[in-house]
Amino acid sequence: MKFLRRFFIRLSNLAAGRRADQRLREELAEHLAFQTEENLRAGMSPAEARRQAVLKLGGAEAIREDHHAEQSLPFIENLLFDLKYAARMLRRSPGFAFVAIATMALGIGATTAIYSVIDATLLHPLPYPNPSELVRIEDDLPGVGAQNVNVSVPEWKDLENSGIFQNVALDYFNSGNLTGSEQPTRIALKGVTPNYFAMLGVGAQLGRTFDPGDNTPGVILEVVISDGLWKRAFGADPRILGKTVRLDNDVYQVVGVMPPGFRDPGQTSEERNTELWYPGGFTAVPFPPPLRNSRFWTASARLKPGLSMAAAQAHLDALVDALKKQYPADYPAQEAWTVRLVPLSESVVGSVRQSLILLFGAVGFVLLISCVNVANLLLARASARGHEIAVRQALGAQRTRLIRQFLAESLLLFLLGGLAGIAILFSVGKFLLRLVPESLPHMNDISVNWGVLAFALAVSVAAGTVFGLAPACLISRYDVNGTLRQEGRGSSGTRERSRARQILVVSELALSLVLMVAAGLLLRSFWDLFKVPLGFNPSRAMTIETWLPYPNDPKTDIYSTATQEAVMLREVLRRNRALPGVEETAVGDRAALPLGHRKDDRNLSPLIREGQGVQSSQPPLIDTSIVSPEYFHLLGMTLLRGRLFVDQDLQDTPSIAVINQAAARTYWPGKDGKGEDPVGKRVRLRAEKPDWTTIVGVIADARTESLADASIPQVYLDIYQRPARDLAFFLRGQLDPSAISEQVREQVQAVDAELPVFRAETLNEVLSTSLSVRRFSMEMVALFAAAALLLAGLGIYGTISYLVNEQRREIAIRLALGAQRGTILKMVLRQGLTLAAAGAGVGLVGALIVSHLMAGLLFGVSSNDLPTFAGVTVVLTAVALAASCIPALTAMRLDPITTLHSE
């Protein structure tokens, strides 16, 4: 208490500049007067009385200093003084100040920018209370090579009763048509168990969320909407509660509006933008029968408080073993069913973590290089200030005091650099955000907030201290006599300091080599992916999506059979073909969209082959798409064997399928390894349906699932035999992307006015989006590598110039003694090359380590790709040589007479 009171009074005195000198002077004068009077009374002479009084009082200056130190805070006062001095010194050399501040602004600005992305994604992935308790529950069937196959309703009940979790919620992400407003809109929505929001721990801003105790087995006709939908579709109507909305022709009542910042914890950016949630029991119509192996639902849960992930997983493994014994028919041993807990944050950001960490590492390198560069500049400047320092030391300045002052100078530089960096970040932030791919989780939450500012400040101070301390120590270790005596001879720099500068430059070169190798490898991977033969033709093609409503009551469903749906589809296709510029049209489900998939669109169905393992219930899962006959021709996919779909294939003709080569290779490998002809083979694609589907054709593999993987087994079904709800229309021709969306909407709604039409994309856009995270990290790392190369070039230029300057006497003497100018040039260049070679040597080792760490991000290029490593080394050496050339030429043109005379 007392201490604090004293501290604050002193601080306020310091801040207000309140001084107590006058008061002390008066008090001391009085004191002396009293003492003198008393001395006089004791019989001293006036002069003696005064002298004794002064003696008794003690040293006036020391008292004044102590008194002043008590009045304010000497440490802070000194710091302010140092900073003032530092600012004056910087003003005196604006060129140096500008270069140093700009370098630091680049380093700290870039680091802060990347940190703001990491802050929003990796550090705050889940805006819910106690996020560490939240997990996703994933079933794996390693026995049949299936991962993350969702959870079934009986399994969910077992999990709820296991005692491991506070809540376990099921959900499924979907689309729905919201009708009633001027345009039917398709919105992202989620069916959830009533405890979903209770599990997340978030309440509504208006109204309520669902009642976790509601046991309705089917759909509960209530919805909670997002703040965004509330504002957009309902004009932020405060009386929204109790109003009804029509969703796929069913009427729901709005019971709550979520707060503005609420995001669904989805795995894809689309899912995170869910705008409407409705509850259901998942056990009765319209939900499929709750069978143990009907794993349709995503499960997330909140762990019991205090339970660790490992402990929970152990309990869960025990539960799984017990269930396997209890229901051996549902969990055959071959499937090797397991249940895995994944932190919810991991499932939200897991996919981009590696890219972001790579970026942060890269930007950290840039920061290091800029720090090293500024440290180098500080050292160089110290040579110029040798005289000043020596004089101050000779006058009795303490070494610690000198170090403190140099530290203040470097801190000021780094802080100004940091501030400049933040200012730049603020002014170009909008532009930078446009570079960030939209698929990044929490893309909208990226901002320069207080946490990010604190980070930038902390980085500036830490870097300023670390990289200011070393030069400060070196500088202050001056040999006073030597410096003062030698002043003017130009050889004041010690060997130690030029060694320090060389080490700094070598580390700069090494760091930039590592960055350039990383950038080179990423660039090559990206290029290879970009140039990979697709197996389909995306040019001039577009997709536009719609969604057929799925009413809860099957009797009101006008699209329940393929025949019913076919009427609508054929009519829309006919109308689309008549649109201007359109040459070809086709239709398919969302799974048929090339590369447009998010995880949820991959429609995996079990593939049961006739005559093979019919009894076992663990058929392999295969990617299934539903398409119209024109699809293959529109996308330019080649038929290898058999036939494609034709218009004569209908709901009442035998079911047929087309597979790709990868599927043929995987499932009909043949006995001699040559492969069996799958055409004519019969398969069953849904365990419950008894009818067989005949394979009629095999098409060539195309990278429609993943650019990186050419051979993912796929099966295509005929849309006129198997209806689909999530439809994508495909168009090819001279299309006007801005108008086509409206034109298709008119045609679709002319057939059914209730249908929404959304997300018109060209296939080239889809292709480009699928590469966006890769492109982003490649571009960023390349940018950082370029910055690093520039900084390293500057660093080596500065160091060689400095060396030349130090050696100019030596060079002049050599020249005077008849040395060839070419020899001098070679001598200087050799110094530059030696540094470059040392930097490259260290850098190559570092680059090998880093490239192996980032192997997971590479495609088609090995992590010790010789051309990349060699090319980068050549570039670095060339830059180092070019940077040494300017000082080398200066050295060569040195006039020996002037130089020797001037010293």
Binding-site ranges for another protein (CB under 8 A): 2-3, 5-6, 9-10, 20, 23-24, 26-28, 30-31, 33-35, 38, 56-60, 62-63, 66-67, 69-71
Rank residues 35 and 693 by Cβ distance to another protein and give the closer one. 35
Rank residues 46 and 580 by Cβ distance to another protein and give the closer one. 46
Rank residues 71 and 799 by Cβ distance to another protein and give the closer one. 71
CA 328 to mean position of chain CA atoms: 44
Q: Which residues lie below 8 Å from residue 659, measured CB to CB, with a gap of 6+?
A: 678, 695, 697, 698, 699, 713, 714, 715, 716
C-beta of residue 532 within 8 angstroms of C-beta of residue 872? no
Cα separation, 77 vs 70, whole angstroms: 12
Rank residues 3 and 450 by Cβ distance to another protein and give the closer one. 3
Rank residues 2 and 495 by Cβ distance to another protein and give the closer one. 2
Rank residues 2 and 239 by Cβ distance to another protein and give the closer one. 2
Least Å distance, CB 114 to another protein, is 47
Rank residues 50 and 570 by Cβ distance to another protein and give the closer one. 50
* DSSP class per residue in 543-582: EEEEE----SSGGG-TTSSHHHHHHHHHHHHHHHHTSTTE
Write the single-letter amino acid at 596: G
CB-facing half-sphere around the CA of 602: CA atoms within 13 A:
20
Cα separation, 568 vs 751, whole angstroms: 7
Least Å distance, CB 395 to another protein, is 23
Helix (H) / strand (E) element for 29: namely: helix 21-41
Least Å distance, CB 315 to another protein, is 57
* DSSP class per residue in 314-375: HHHHHHHHHHHHH-TTTS-TTT--EEEEEEHHHHHHHHHHHHHHHHHHHHHHHHHHHHHHHH
Least Å distance, CB 30 to another protein, is 5
Least Å distance, CB 75 to another protein, is 16
Least Å distance, CB 51 to another protein, is 15
Cα separation, 693 vs 683, whole angstroms: 5
C-beta of residue 266 within 8 angstroms of C-beta of residue 345? no
Cα separation, 828 vs 833, whole angstroms: 9
Cα separation, 371 vs 460, whole angstroms: 10
Rank residues 34 and 327 by Cβ distance to another protein and give the closer one. 34
Q: What's the burial of 211, exposed, middle or buried (CB within 10 Å: 0-12/13-18/19+)?
A: middle
Rank residues 56 and 574 by Cβ distance to another protein and give the closer one. 56
Rank residues 40 and 523 by Cβ distance to another protein and give the closer one. 40
User: 252-262 burial string, b = 16+ CB within 10 Å, else e?
Assistant: bebbbbbeeeb
Q: Residue 279 in 3-state DSSP?
A: strand
Rank residues 39 and 152 by Cβ distance to another protein and give the closer one. 39
Least Å distance, CB 64 to another protein, is 9
Cα–Cα separations (whole angstroms), residue 165 to 159, 201, 282, 388, 756: 8, 14, 19, 70, 40
Least Å distance, CB 827 to another protein, is 57
Least Å distance, CB 2 to another protein, is 4
Least Å distance, CB 43 to another protein, is 17
Least Å distance, CB 22 to another protein, is 11
Least Å distance, CB 17 to another protein, is 17
Cα–Cα separations (whole angstroms), residue 186 to 222, 598, 603, 754: 18, 17, 20, 10
Rank residues 58 and 690 by Cβ distance to another protein and give the closer one. 58
Question: Between helices 2-16 and 74-92, what is the axis angle to 10°?
Answer: 30
Q: Which residues lie below 8 Å from residue 493, measured CB to CB, with a gap of 6+?
A: 383, 386, 802, 806
Rank residues 63 and 458 by Cβ distance to another protein and give the closer one. 63
Rank residues 67 and 304 by Cβ distance to another protein and give the closer one. 67
Least Å distance, CB 5 to another protein, is 5
Q: What's the burial of 61, exposed, middle or buried (CB within 10 Å: 0-12/13-18/19+)?
A: exposed
Least Å distance, CB 50 to another protein, is 15
CB-facing half-sphere around the CA of 490: CA atoms within 13 A:
16
Token pair, residue 878, equals 């060339």
Least Å distance, CB 3 to another protein, is 8
Rank residues 10 and 302 by Cβ distance to another protein and give the closer one. 10
Region of 680 (left: φ > 0; alpha: ψ -120 to 50; beta: rest) is left
Least Å distance, CB 398 to another protein, is 17
Count of residues in the chain: 903
Cα separation, 625 vs 730, whole angstroms: 14
Rank residues 23 and 499 by Cβ distance to another protein and give the closer one. 23
Q: What's the burial of 231, exposed, middle or buried (CB within 10 Å: 0-12/13-18/19+)?
A: middle
